[in-house]
Amino acid sequence: MRERVRVLFNEEETNQKIRELGSRISREYEGKELTIICILKGAVYFACELSKRISLPVKMDFMRCSSYGNETVSSGVVKIALDLDEPIRGKNILVVEDIIDTGRTMNYLLEILRQRGPESLKLCALLDKPDRRVVDVKVDYTGFVIPDEFVVGYGLDYAEKYRSLPYIGVVEFEEDES
């Protein structure tokens, strides 16, 4: 089987969308200090680009989660593999994630963060696959809504490949000729 990546959103479309999100977030948090929580590893490219487009003081902290069991089927039982450096009590927190699929990871994570007493807690996702949703998650800022296809690039991986692509694409599989 050969793999190829079909472009879904090219580099310019993706960057334009991130600029729009950055402007919206800048307006809505005007006068406030914002802390972005970047969910490793997938959201790292998006979080960096987005934070550059926000015209406010932005701090960034990182979290890495791993779900128990099969990686392709989200179990909803999330382990925090790397926790934040700083407490979030009283802060304006924007969680930045690559993609919301079943919603299980974010549902769990947002609940943990809420218990830590932030002033506000919102979610920004580059991509959303609402058709796949199993648990309800409110996405406050969405880049692109996409159908149920497996996407890579701009931080998203397929078996750790393709994260560094500067665009978003769909992995397609073809039979080898011979």
Cis amide bond preceding 41, omega within 30: yes
85, 101, 131, 176: the active-site residue: 101
Distance CA 142, CA 123 (A): 9
The amino acid at residue 97 is E
Site for ligand IMP in 71-90 (CB under 6 A): 74
Query: With binding defined as CB under 6 A, does residue 103 bind ligand IMP?
Result: yes
Distance CA 144, CA 99 (A): 9
The CB-of-44 to Mg ion minimum distance in angstroms stands at 10
Q: Are 15 and 39 in contact (CB under 8 A)?
A: no
Q: Are 97 and 106 in contact (CB under 8 A)?
A: yes
Query: With binding defined as CB under 6 A, does residue 150 bind ligand IMP?
Result: yes
For ligand IMP, the closer of residues 24 and 163 by Cβ is 163
For ligand IMP, the closer of residues 26 and 163 by Cβ is 163
Q: What is the DSSP string of 35-84?
A: EEEEEETTTHHHHHHHHHT--S-EEEEEEEEEESS-TTS--S-EEEEE--
Asked if 98 is an active-site residue, the reply is no
User: Which position among 21, 25, 98, 143 is part of the footprint of ligand IMP (CB under 6 A)?
Assistant: 98
The CB-of-156 to Mg ion minimum distance in angstroms stands at 8
Q: Are 145 and 131 in contact (CB under 8 A)?
A: no
User: Which position among 47, 58, 100, 124 is part of the footprint of ligand IMP (CB under 6 A)?
Assistant: 100
Residue 103 interacts with which of Mg ion, ligand IMP, none, CB < 5 to 8 Å by class: ligand IMP
Query: With binding defined as CB under 6 A, does residue 151 bind ligand IMP?
Result: yes
Query: With binding defined as CB under 6 A, does residue 42 bind ligand IMP?
Result: yes
Closest CA to 88 of 66, 68, 59: 59
Query: With binding defined as CB under 5 A, does residue 42 bind Mg ion?
Result: yes
Query: With binding defined as CB under 6 A, does residue 102 bind ligand IMP?
Result: yes
Per CB under 6 A, residues contacting ligand IMP are 42, 74, 97-106, 150-152, 156
